[in-house]
A and B are shown apart, each in its own frame.
Chain A
Amino acid sequence: MTAPVLRVEDLTVSFSAGAGRAVAVDGLSYELRQGETLAIVGESGSGKSVSSLALLGLLPRRSARVERGRAEFSGRDLLTLPEREQRALRGNQIAMIFQEPMTSLTPVLRIGLQLTEALVAHGKLSGRQAYERAVEMLALVGLDQPRVRMGQFPHQLSGGMRQRVMIAMAMINEPAILIADEPTTALDVTVQSQILDLMRDLKTRFGTAIILITHDMGVVAEMADRVVVMRSGRKVEEGAARTVFQAPEADYTKRLLAAVPRLGAFQAEPAPRQVVESAAPVGEPLLRASHMTKVFGAGGLWFGRGRGTKAMDDVSLELKSAETLALVGESGSGKSTTGRAILRMVDVDEGTIHMAGTDVRALSAAGLRRLRRDMQMIFQDPFAALNPRMSAGALVAEPMRIHQVAEGSHLSDKVGELFRRVGLETDHIRRFPHEFSGGQRQRLCIARALGVEPQIIVADEPTSALDVSVQAQVLELMLELQQTYGLAYLFISHDVAVVEEMSHRVAVMHRGRIVEMGARQAVIGAPQHPYTKALLAAVPTPDPTRVRGALPVLDVEGMARGPLEEVAPGHFVAQ
Chain B
Amino acid sequence: MAFDGTAPLPAPRSASAMVALLKSPTGVIGLIIVVTLVLVALLAPLIAPFDPLRMAAGPRLQPPSMAHWFGTDDFGRDVFSRIVYGARLTLQIGTIAVGISLTAGLLLGLVAGYGGGWIERILMRLVDVLFSFTEIVIALACLAIFGIGLTNAMIAIGIASIPFYARVTHSVVLVEKGKPYFESAVSAGAGHVRLLFRHLLPNVLPTLIVVGTLGVSTAVLAAAGLSFLGLGAQPPQPEWGFMLSSSRDLISRAPWMMIFPGLAIVVTVLGFNLLGDGVREVLDPRQRAR
The chain A residues found within 8 Å of chain B, CB to CB, are 63, 343, 345, 369-370, 372-373, 375-377, 379-381, 384-391, 393-394, 396-399, 401-403, 411-412, 415, 429, 432, 434, 445, 448-449, 452, 458
Task: Look across to chain B and name the residue whose beta carbon is closest to the beta carbon of A431.
Answer: B12
In the docked arrangement, what's the CA distance between A458 and B187, Å? 10
Known contacts A379-B183, A381-B180; is A402 also within 8 Å of B190 by CB? yes
Q: Max chain A CB contacts within 10 Å: which of B179, B181, B194, B203?
A: B181
Cβ–Cβ < 8 Å partners of B183 in chain A = 345, 377, 379, 385
Contact of B184 among A373, A412, A445 (CB under 8 A): A445
Across the interface, do A389 and B203 meet the contact criterion of CB distance under 8 Å?
A: yes
A432 and B12 within 8 A (CB)? yes
* A379/B184 in contact, CB under 8 A: yes
Alpha-carbon distance between A379 and B190 when the two chains are bound, in angstroms: 17
Interface pair B3/A397, CB less than 8 Å apart? yes
The distance in angstroms between the C-alpha atoms of A218 and B189, with both chains bound, is: 40
Assess the B4–A372 pair: CB atoms within 8 A: no
- B1 sits at the interface (CB 8 A): yes
Residues on the A chain within 8 Å of B184, using CB: 377, 379, 385-386, 445, 448
| Whole-angstrom CA separation of A401 from B194 in the bound complex | 11
Contacts of B190 in A (CB 8 A): 369, 398, 402
CB of B177 closer than 8 Å to a CB of A:
no
Indicate if B6 sits at the interface (CB-CB under 8 A): yes
User: By the criterion CB–CB under 8 Å, are A384 and B180 in contact?
Assistant: yes
Residue in B7, B189, B190, B198 with the greatest tally of chain A CB atoms within 10 Å: B189
Query: How far does the alpha carbon of A386 sit from the alpha carbon of B202 in the complex, in Å?
Result: 13
A429 to B5, CA, bound (A): 12
B12:A434 contact, CB within 8 angstroms: yes
Q: Are A393 and B1 in contact (CB under 8 A)?
A: yes
Give the complex CA separation of A58 and B5 in angstroms.
Answer: 43
Report if A398-B185 is in contact (Cβ < 8 Å); known contacts: A389-B6, A393-B1, A393-B3. yes
The A-contacting residues of B in range 270-290, CB under 8 angstroms, are 290
List the A side residues contacting B187 at CB < 8 Å: 343, 345, 372, 375-377, 458
Assess whether B189 is in contact with A403, with CB atoms less than 8 Å apart.
Answer: yes
User: Could you say which of B1, B181, B191, B202 contacts A385, with CB atoms under 8 Å apart?
Assistant: B181
Give the distance in Å from the alpha carbon of A380 to the alpha carbon of B3 in the complex.
Answer: 25
Q: Does B188 contact A (CB under 8 A)?
A: yes
Q: How far is the CA of A399 from the CA of B184 in the complex (A)?
A: 10
On whether A386 and B189 interact (CB within 8 A), knowing A394-B6, A434-B12, the answer reads no
Interface status of B199 (Cβ within 8 A of chain A) = yes
Docked complex: B189-207 residues within 8 A CB-CB of A:
189-191, 194, 198-199, 202-203
- For the complex formed, measure the closest distance between the CB of A345 and the CB atoms of chain B, giving whole angstroms: 6
8 new A-B contacts, CB < 8 A, other than A373-B189, A387-B198, A394-B4, are A343-B187, A345-B186, A381-B180, A384-B181, A398-B190, A402-B189, A434-B12, A448-B188
> Which 6 pairs between the two chains have the least Cβ-Cβ distance?
A372-B189, A432-B12, A393-B3, A385-B180, A377-B187, A399-B188
Q: Is the CB of B1 within 8 A of A412?
A: yes
A402 touches B191 (CB 8 A): yes
Number of A-B contacts (CB under 8 A): 95
Given contacts A390-B7, A391-B5, A391-B7, whether A399 and B189 have CB atoms under 8 Å apart is: yes
B122 sits at the interface (CB 8 A): no
Q: Is the interface of A mostly helix, strand, loop or mixed?
A: mixed
- Which of A369, A380, A458 contacts B189, CB < 8 Å? A369
The answer to whether B191 touches A412, judged by C-beta atoms less than 8 angstroms apart, is no
Output the nearest chain B residue to A370 by Cβ-Cβ distance. Answer: B189
Distance A458 CA – B184 CA, assembled complex (angstroms):
11
- B141: Cβ under 8 A from any A Cβ: no
Of B5, B186, B290, which one neighbours A63 at CB under 8 angstroms? Answer: B290
**B11 close to chain A: CB less than 8 A:** yes
Bound: A393/B4 CA distance, A: 8
A-B contact pairs, 30 of them (CB 8 A): A343-B187, A345-B183, A345-B187, A370-B189, A373-B189, A375-B187, A377-B183, A377-B184, A379-B180, A379-B184, A381-B180, A385-B181, A385-B184, A387-B199, A387-B202, A388-B12, A388-B181, A389-B12, A391-B5, A391-B12, A394-B5, A394-B6, A399-B188, A401-B4, A402-B189, A403-B189, A412-B3, A429-B3, A432-B7, A452-B188
Q: Which residues of chain B are within 8 angstroms of A396 by Cβ–Cβ distance?
A: 3
B180 smallest CB distance to A (angstroms): 4
Rounded to whole Å, the gap between the CB of B71 and the closest CB of chain A is: 49
Q: Give chain A residues whose Cβ lies under 8 Å from the Cβ of B188.
A: 372, 376, 398-399, 402, 448-449, 452
For B7, the closest partner residue in chain A by CB is A389
Complexed CA–CA distance, A386 and B7 (Å): 14
Q: What distance in Å separates the Cβ of B67 from its nearest Cβ neighbour in chain A?
A: 51
Residue of A nearest to B117 (CB): A301
Q: Which residue of B lies closest to A403 (CB)?
A: B189
Cα separation A394 to B4 with both chains bound (whole Å): 5
Cα–Cα distance between A394 and B198 once the two chains are bound (Å):
11
Complex interface: chain B residues within 8 A of A390 (CB): 6-7, 198, 202
Residues of B within 8 A of A401 (CB): 4
Which B residues are CB-close (under 8 A) to A63?
Answer: 290
Known contacts A393-B1, A402-B194; is-contact A386 B181 (Cβ 8 Å): yes
Q: Roughly how many angstroms separate A438 CA and B160 CA in the complex, as a whole number?
A: 46
Looking at B3, B12, B190, which has the most chain A CB atoms within 10 Å of its CB? B3
| Chain B residues within an 8 Å CB radius of A391 | 3, 5, 7, 12
Given A376-B188, A432-B12, also A387-B181 (CB < 8 A): yes
Residue with the highest number of chain B CB atoms closer than 10 Å, among A63, A377, A389, A399:
A389
Residues on B with C-beta less than 8 A from A369 are: 189-191
